[in-house]
Amino acid sequence: MNKIIVIAICFLAPITLSSQQAFHNFGEIQIHNQGRIGFHINVVNDGNFDQNVGFTGFYSDDSSLTVSGNNKPVFHDVEIDVANDLFLEVSMGVTNFQEFVNGRVQTPRDEKTVSLDYTDDAPYLGANDDRFVDGYASMTGLLDFTFPVGDDFRLRPMRIENQAAVNTASGAYYFEDPNTPNFFTGSYDTDNFESLLFGVSTFEFWDLNGDVETRVTLTWDDNSNIPTLVNNLDDLRVVGWDRTLGQWVNLGNTVVSGDLNNGEITSELMIPDNYVIITFGTSSTILDGDLEIFTAVSPNGDGQNDTFIIQGIAQFPENELSIFNRWGVEVYNKKGYDNSWGGLSEGRATIAKGEELPVGTYYYVLKVEGQKDRAGYLYINR
């Protein structure tokens, strides 16, 4: 590896080296084609340093390095080999290619406009649990992009679709409880979620910013504690804290892969700026022994969730299902339930029998002979 080569660099105004502590640019510098420069000291850019077409490396075997100043430097090819991390106090751009060799790139999480900026679909190489952007990264381009973001020596990538990168999208990962985030002004109560959800992760979240509709793909590992949310990955959801509603909402599950310890999930189309933060949640079904209870009912004739489904109930013909509204009035009762209830009011105490029940949350009690009663909430959405 060539670590200290400087050729074909154009200096159009003075630079200073303050006791070898910093490379300080006050004027205009350009690394020309085939030019190479290796920084072993801090970089302070108060001039123009954004028309580079050569190679730039950051190197330190035993300390950290810092990029600061009033103006954003933009480099063509970048190599980062800094044992104790490269700290950005001003955004830094990459236009062609970037490689992580050693150490992380740290950006200030309390100043979210400072980021490592990938432009023109610049790719990167070498990201792992020891080498990633610890803070914010951004992308401007025409291709799908996976943010090489992480926290606490954990790479936790997040992917967006190509259309979202056109107007620039940015993001970061937080290994924090969203109820008590360190770098956000609000608190995002994981018990405050819409009726179609049944739980929200308290272990981690992402911040994704952008004004173009996209699907987002989140990743998990064994520290994500996905088994505390679901037993079946089909029940996992991407969820977001809705800025307008002030609660967690379901952003869907279009594709999911992996297992409970490692995998990824893709949301439905969403506009990132509509949500303060995003993470994992659970919805639709509850696994209860040999029964799988689908708790979303949408009796609109589309063939999906038109009735209240309890998968496996046929194995237990000696059962009784009762459903109650929010005031505790029984609206449905059937012995030997057979997955046939479609949201009509048919309970023994019902006055207007046979009418469609309104959209909302209901409570079910399932009794199975010889077993403990099951009970929980279901949601009717027409």
Low-confidence residues in the chain, pLDDT < 50: 1-14, 17-19, 350-351
The predicted pLDDT at position 19 comes to: 45
The predicted pLDDT at position 9 comes to: 44
The predicted pLDDT at position 10 comes to: 45
Are the beta carbons of 318 and 369 closer than 8 angstroms? yes
Are the beta carbons of 46 and 27 closer than 8 angstroms? no
The predicted pLDDT at position 287 comes to: 55
Does domain 285-380 fall into CATH 3.30.310?
Answer: no
**Stated pTM of the model:** 0.74
The predicted pLDDT at position 333 comes to: 93
Are the beta carbons of 316 and 338 closer than 8 angstroms? no
Cα–Cα distance between 98 and 79 in angstroms, integer? 6
The predicted pLDDT at position 120 comes to: 95
The predicted pLDDT at position 13 comes to: 43
Are the beta carbons of 137 and 172 closer than 8 angstroms? yes
Instruction: Find tokens 């608190």 and name the residue.
Output: 187
Percent of the chain with pLDDT over 70: 91
